[in-house]
Amino acid sequence: MPADSDPPTLFTHFSTQAFARERQLLAWRDRVGHVVDVLPAKDQIERGFSGSIDLHAAGGLVFTEARTEALVLERSIARVSTDTRRDFAFHVYAEGETGNVSGLNVKRSARGSVRGIAAFDLNQRFRIERPACRVLTMFLPRALVAAHVDDCDALHGRVVPDDAPLARFLFQHFDATARGLPALEHPDAIDALDAGARLLLAAFADKPHALHDSRAALQTAVKEQVKRYVDTHLHEADLTPMKIVEALALKRATIYRWFEQEGGLAAYIRHRRLREAADDIARFPNLQIADIAFGLGFKSASDFTRAFRRAFDVSPLEMRLRALELLRATHDDPVMRSRAAHSRGARESG
């Protein structure tokens, strides 16, 4: 989906806590006013308003994570006719519910507030009375939505409930995306947002090729889910492909096939353990190499050493000696020392 010449990753953070209580809701209205109007009540202004929003943009896609108290949002006919927003906003309610939606141009059977994923066409009017929530929103260009959804105008106001097909993976993927985006490199950020866009379009699409799109999106989302599980449980000695499949309730044959490019899921686990071991060997010179190996699930020091040499073409001890030499060189060189300090500061702030 992204173009070849993508703009750099953009990140902004906004919180109403930086404002005086009587200015908080009005500040929120100013922050989101380029997309939607906030209708403040007098008593709501007086008691203050808690809201924060993180915005990420990469590869032509925009993703936000917002936490707010209850509020009323509206895009009126007058607003639609005067601004230029024509994209779609997909709201994934990670916490809380959709609220009561009214003012839709299309006819929909009335339904109460539910936990799910709501689609809004910014070229049409709507009004949302929304309870306190944590909502993850992805903005998709109109042309992209129209290419995947028949009669995309009718998409406005549709809600995919949290028990619908693909919904579980959508919630997991978007939640993981929100937590992981701040630390991702530009290409990885694009991949995460692109996978989210594909999952959304597959969940809402009605076209025949939607099945193919959903499979590709689902594969991306599930593989990321498996990789997150591996990273979380990397230090457990009993971490095996079968344990992962059972813990995540996935189909074994499918997952094994999807990890064929990595040499199989077992090979992927071993590779991640070796990478983690290499990092620990370089970063913690006082730790015994055998302790690092056993802590990462290797059954013997000799097995670890053979696997390490195959992966990096050096022994664990040789890598440690190289790391120590680099550390001494960095300490002796003021320019290198300054760069190392800057690098540590960037990692800690990230």
For residue 217 the two structure tokens come to 């999106």
Final residue of a structural domain among 183, 213, 232: 232
Instruction: Name the band, by pLDDT with cuts 50, 70 and 90, for residue 347.
Output: very low
Helix (H, G, I), strand (E, B) or coil at 313: coil
Mean pLDDT confidence for 176-193: 84
275 and 254 in one domain? yes
Q: What are phi and psi of 208, to 5 degrees?
A: -55, -35
The per-residue pLDDT for 312 is: 92
CA dihedral 281, 287, 288, 293 (to 10 degrees): -50
Cα angle for residues 37, 118, 220 (degrees, 5° grid): 125
Shared domain for 101 and 153, answered yes or no, is: yes
Cα–Cα distance between 327 and 323 in angstroms, integer?
6
Q: What is the mean pLDDT of residues 84-89?
A: 95
69 plus 205 within the same structural domain: yes
Of 232, 261, 284, the position where a domain reaches its end is 232
Question: What CATH code is carried by the domain that includes residue 26?
Answer: 2.60.120.10
Of residues 194 and 120, more confidence is placed in 120
pLDDT (tens digit, 9 = 90+) per residue, 313-336? 999 999 999 888 887 876 665 544
19 lies in the same domain as 52: yes
Instruction: Establish if 1 belongs to a structural domain.
Output: no
Full residue range of the structural domain in which residue 209 is found: 10-232
Q: How many domains does the chain have?
A: 2
**204 and 275 assigned to the same domain:** no
- Based on the domain organization, do 108 and 200 belong to the same domain? yes
pLDDT tens profile 285-307:
889 999 999 999 898 899 999 99
Q: What is the dihedral of CA 307, 308, 310, 312, to 10 degrees?
A: 160
Do 308 and 220 fall into the same domain? no
Residues 123, 70 contacting (CB under 8 angstroms): no
Q: HSE (CB half, 13 Å, CA atoms) of 119?
A: 26
Strand, helix or coil for residue 23: helix
CA 145/CA 122 separation, integer angstroms: 12
Q: Classify each residue of 177-195 as buried b or exposed e, where b means 16 or more C-beta atoms within 10 Å of its C-beta.
A: bbeebeebeeeebbbbbbb
